[in-house]
């Protein structure tokens, strides 16, 4: 009898759990639909890109800079955080938050293949979260789960999105934080004020330009003030929110101060400058191409002002501000590496384009033309969005999948291969110099000097002439320089013929991502130069 009662009790518990689960699904129906959609479309896109890569090359990361994040992650795991080379602290991480997140992989595996798949896994999780938030924002704005589903699909189909989300760069976490910030910025309750402070700090740690979230918090304060929703107590909470943002970001700022005397990472000082005429020309040419490739961009830029009228400006304000910021400070850097800095702009503008178009459609068809708000009218608006916004992106989206595989192959065949060669053919205490600071350092396990200065503070802040740089290499025992032959010719004037020996060269048959088609390892014999 007791066995029967126990079985009935267990069945009752299962039934209760099932009813609870069904109630949860019913209560959060929209969120469940959008999350299921995000998981499905994002995972399918990632599988497509990874399978395409595997048909072309071995698993790899599509940018050499991706390995910089992985190297910083390894230093965190090994207990010497931010020492890019042993004994040389660096502030060269564009995204310390991303490196901290990636460091968790090393607790599971230290095998290169395992690290790569771990990066894919973490990136996909943040990508799914970003797709869900994109759909959630649109569903909130238009009060329609159908529009949220369309937005999720469009978000994934944005060319370069899956490419960069799976590249190993900080893009997934930065886009996720921006979308989460927009979601919360639109909420008026005071309980979200402190959360925004934390997000602002995390956004800064994801990328320095993430500080723009603090600007948005100020705009939110102004909007709430105009609605008479800011009391003295709440103003104090806003100040506390700013303090929280500083607390989150402060450890990294203090590290930068301690190493270089400057508050921002060296990547900022290496890339941000007054644009040259050639950089501005390149920016203008690329944007002409972007508008043709992504017709939703002008729609979002102009119709997006509707969101300001609706009292929800942030989805439009953030990408617009980022575009202006990049144009004024880093117009060329924003274009390289498959336009990785501009991807958040594209991702947010697709949301703005869908929302603003849907609102205009309602105004024209339901307002001016007085058509009834029927299922056929809604279907027509969804069809128009698909034809005008989604369909034009498909060719570029498909091209990017092949580009992804070839790029991963290029990095494996050049930087990864040379890094492994250095590990096998140079002394353990060897020092080398290069411009490509990622995979060469990670796989060689040799001390590295970055000629661009991104991870070598002495170089970026030393204001050295070319002669002084070479003297610096000599003084620090650097016997190898890894460089593109076409560019290394520039340095030949400093070296007699018998002072250089090319020990290894890699030539790419089809180069789509590396700076040049070939890269060589130059062994320098300083005793035959004027530097010794």
Tens digits of residue pLDDT in 73-104: 999 999 999 999 888 889 988 899 999 999 99
Q: What's the rounded mean pLDDT across residues 329-356?
A: 94
Nearest to 112 by CA among 446, 443, 514, 436: 443
pLDDT in the model for residue 346: 97
pLDDT in the model for residue 144: 87
Nearest to 308 by CA among 317, 321, 300: 317
- As a whole number of angstroms, the distance between CA 396 and CA 43 comes to 19
Local confidence band at 342 (pLDDT 50, 70, 90 cut-offs): very high
Structure tokens at 75: 């230093």
Query: Which residues fall within 8 angstroms of residue 128, CB to CB, at 6 or more apart?
Result: 38, 39, 42, 43
Residue 403 has pLDDT above 90, yes or no: yes
The structural domains of the chain, with segments of one domain joined by +, span 23-401, 402-528
Per-residue pLDDT tens over the stretch 502-521: 999 999 999 999 999 999 99
Average the pLDDT over each of 11-25, 35-49, 418-432 and give the range with the smallest value: 11-25
pLDDT in the model for residue 371: 55
Buried b (16+ CB within 10 A) or exposed e, 436-457: bbbbbbbbbbbbbbbbbbbbbb
pLDDT in the model for residue 389: 85
Nearest to 488 by CA among 500, 471, 506: 500
Q: What's the rounded mean pLDDT across residues 417-433?
A: 96
Query: Which residues fall within 8 angstroms of residue 3, CB to CB, at 6 or more apart?
Result: none
Cα separations in angstroms, 510 against 31, 163, 195, 397, 494: 44, 18, 47, 20, 32
Local confidence band at 376 (pLDDT 50, 70, 90 cut-offs): low
Q: What's the rounded mean pLDDT across residues 6-28?
A: 65
Instruction: Check residue 455 and report its DSSP letter.
Output: S
Instruction: Check residue 362 and report its DSSP letter.
Output: I
Residue 392 near residue 151 (C-beta atoms within 8 A): no
Local confidence band at 497 (pLDDT 50, 70, 90 cut-offs): confident
Query: Which residues fall within 8 angstroms of residue 47, CB to CB, at 6 or more apart?
Result: none
pLDDT in the model for residue 12: 66
What is the chain's length? 532
pLDDT in the model for residue 461: 83
Q: What's the rounded mean pLDDT across residues 433-458?
A: 91
Q: What's the rounded mean pLDDT across residues 433-460?
A: 91
- As a whole number of angstroms, the distance between CA 524 and CA 501 comes to 7
Per-residue pLDDT tens over the stretch 197-236: 999 999 999 999 999 999 999 999 999 999 989 999 999 9
Cα separations in angstroms, 407 against 52, 99, 443: 11, 22, 18
DSSP labels, 261-310: SSSS-HHHHHH-SPPPHHHHHHHHHHHHHHHHH-THHHHHHHHTHHHHHT
Structure tokens at 304: 């997006």
Signed CA dihedral, 441, 342, 45, 204: sign only: positive
**Phi, psi dihedral angles at 252 (to 5 degrees):** -70, -40
pTM (predicted TM-score): 0.93
pLDDT in the model for residue 382: 77
């Amino acid at each position: 009898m007791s066995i029967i009662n126990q079985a009935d009790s267990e069945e009752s518990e299962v039934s209760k759990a099932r009813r609870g689960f069904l109630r949860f699904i019913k209560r959060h129906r929209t969120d469940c639909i959008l999350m299921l959609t995000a998981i499905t479309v994002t995972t399918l896109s990632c599988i497509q890109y990874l399978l395409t890569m595997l048909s072309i090359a071995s698993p790899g990361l599509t940018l050499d800079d991706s390995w910089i994040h992985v190297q910083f992650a390894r230093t965190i795991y090994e207990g010497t955080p931010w020492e890019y080379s042993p004994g040389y602290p660096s502030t060269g991480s564009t995204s310390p938050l991303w490196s901290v997140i990636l460091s968790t992989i090393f607790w599971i595996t230290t095998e290169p293949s395992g690290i790569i798949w771990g990066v894919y896994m973490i990136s996909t999780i943040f990508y799914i979260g970003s797709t869900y938030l994109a759909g959630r924002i649109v569903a909130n704005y238009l009060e329609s789960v159908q529009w949220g589903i369309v937005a999720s699909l469009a978000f994934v189909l944005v060319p370069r999105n899956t490419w960069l989300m799976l590249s190993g760069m900080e893009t997934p976490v930065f886009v996720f934080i921006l979308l989460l910030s927009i979601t919360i910025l639109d909420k008026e309750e005071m309980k979200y004020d402190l959360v925004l402070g934390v997000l602002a700090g995390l956004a800064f740690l994801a990328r320095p330009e993430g500080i723009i979230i603090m600007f948005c918090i100020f705009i939110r304060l102004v909007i709430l003030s105009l609605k008479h929703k800011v009391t003295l107590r709440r103003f104090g909470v806003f100040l506390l929110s700013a303090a929280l943002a500083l607390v989150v970001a402060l450890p990294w700022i203090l590290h930068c101060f301690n190493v270089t005397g400057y508050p921002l990472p060296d990547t900022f000082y290496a890339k941000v400058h007054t644009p040259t005429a050639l950089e501005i020309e390149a920016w203008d040419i690329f944007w002409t191409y972007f508008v043709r490739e992504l017709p939703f961009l002008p729609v979002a830029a102009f119709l997006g002002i509707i969101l300001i009228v609706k009292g929800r400006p942030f989805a439009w304000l953030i990408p617009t501000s980022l575009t202006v910021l990049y144009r004024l400070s880093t117009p060329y850097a924003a274009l390289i590496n498959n336009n990785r800095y501009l991807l958040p702009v594209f991702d947010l503008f697709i949301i703005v384009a869908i929302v603003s178009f849907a609102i205009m459609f309602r105004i024209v068809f339901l307002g001016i033309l007085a058509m009834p708000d029927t299922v056929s009218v809604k279907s027509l608006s969804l069809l128009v969005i698909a034809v005008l916004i989604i369909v034009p992106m498909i060719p570029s989206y498909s091209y990017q999948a092949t580009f992804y595989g070839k790029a991963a192959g290029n990095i494996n065949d050049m930087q990864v291969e040379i890094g492994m060669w250095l590990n096998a053919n140079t002394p353990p205490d060897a020092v080398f110099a290069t411009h490509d600071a990622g995979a060469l350092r990670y796989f060689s396990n040799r001390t590295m000097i970055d000629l661009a200065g991104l991870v070598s503070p002495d170089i970026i802040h030393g204001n050295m002439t070319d002669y002084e740089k070479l003297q610096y290499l000599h003084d620090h025992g650097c016997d190898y320089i890894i460089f593109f032959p076409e560019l290394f010719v520039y340095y030949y004037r400093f070296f007699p013929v018998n002072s250089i020996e090319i020990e290894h060269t890699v030539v790419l048959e089809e180069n789509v991502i590396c700076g040049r088609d070939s890269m060589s390892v130059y062994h320098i014999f300083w005793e035959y130069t004027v530097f010794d």
